[in-house]
Chains A and B, each alone.
Chain A
Amino acid sequence: AQSVSQHNHHVILSEAASLELGCNYSYGGTVNLFWYVQYPGQHLQLLLKYFSGDPLVKGIKGFEAEFIKSKFSFNLRKPSVQWSDTAEYFCAVVGNNDMRFGAGTRLTVKP
């Protein structure tokens, strides 16, 4: 079975700092990649997705992610975080008809 790794469990940043959250997966074939966000007390919402084409994808709220096939990675970035970005972020990968989520990264942004 494939696996998805999110190496940062809890990230604490000050407002305006830059963010990069790592996501690595194990499946070697064609994949669809997603980042979801879960704000406190809410359900998961899609931030962005990659199916094919330009490996740099832009999502909502200024987030972007880069697919690097050779590194099996799909890292999430934001140039300047806001207090409202405090949430848990999940990477998800679909490959060979199997969808897996990472364990999640909790982001705390200090005002």
Chain B
Amino acid sequence: NAGVTQTPKFQVLKTGQSMTLQCAQDMNHEYMSWYRQDPGMGLRLIHYSVGAGITDQGEVPNGYNVSRSTTEDFPLRLLSAAPSQTSVYFCASSYKREVEQYFGPGTRLTVT
């Protein structure tokens, strides 16, 4: 099993550009989530999904969109990148929200 995979590993965007961060898992997990990690702030939940076709907002959803058309994939879209979105983004999955999460390797995003 590959576990949770994320692409790309690194990305530099200019302000106003859009892009999609990819996340896939092969563990047949229903629950998937996106976090951003910023120094001194830990991980903050952006969006999550409890199954295909169902998504919901987390703690910091503004500026991001998600969709969940399959159990395996959970892409995160930045609609119009801003410098405040410079961060490390982690995707995670689990069979339900209340149990331990399995994390991907992360995407380091810089917005200039």
Contact = CB atoms under 8 A, between A and B. Distances in A.
A83 B106 CA distance: 24
Contacts of B45: 99
Nearest to A103: B42
Given A43-B90, A43-B105, A45-B103, A9 B40 contact: yes
Contacts of A67: none
A26 B54 CA distance: 28
Interface residues on B, range: 10 to 19
A49 to B, nearest CB: 6
Interface string B85-111: 000001010000111110111100000
Given A43-B90, A43-B105, A103 B41 contact: yes
Nearest to A6: B42
Nearest to A91: B42
Interface residues of A, number: 22
A44 B43 CA distance: 10
Contacts of B97: 94, 97, 99
A22 B19 CA distance: 38
B42 A101 contact: yes
Contacts of A101: 35, 42-44
A56 to B, nearest CB: 18
Interface string A84-111: 0000001010100101011110000000
Interface of B: 35, 40-45, 59, 90, 92, 97-101, 103-106
Which 8 A-B pairs rank lowest in CB-CB distance, beginning with the nearest?
A: A101-B43, A103-B42, A101-B42, A44-B103, A43-B103, A46-B100, A43-B105, A94-B98
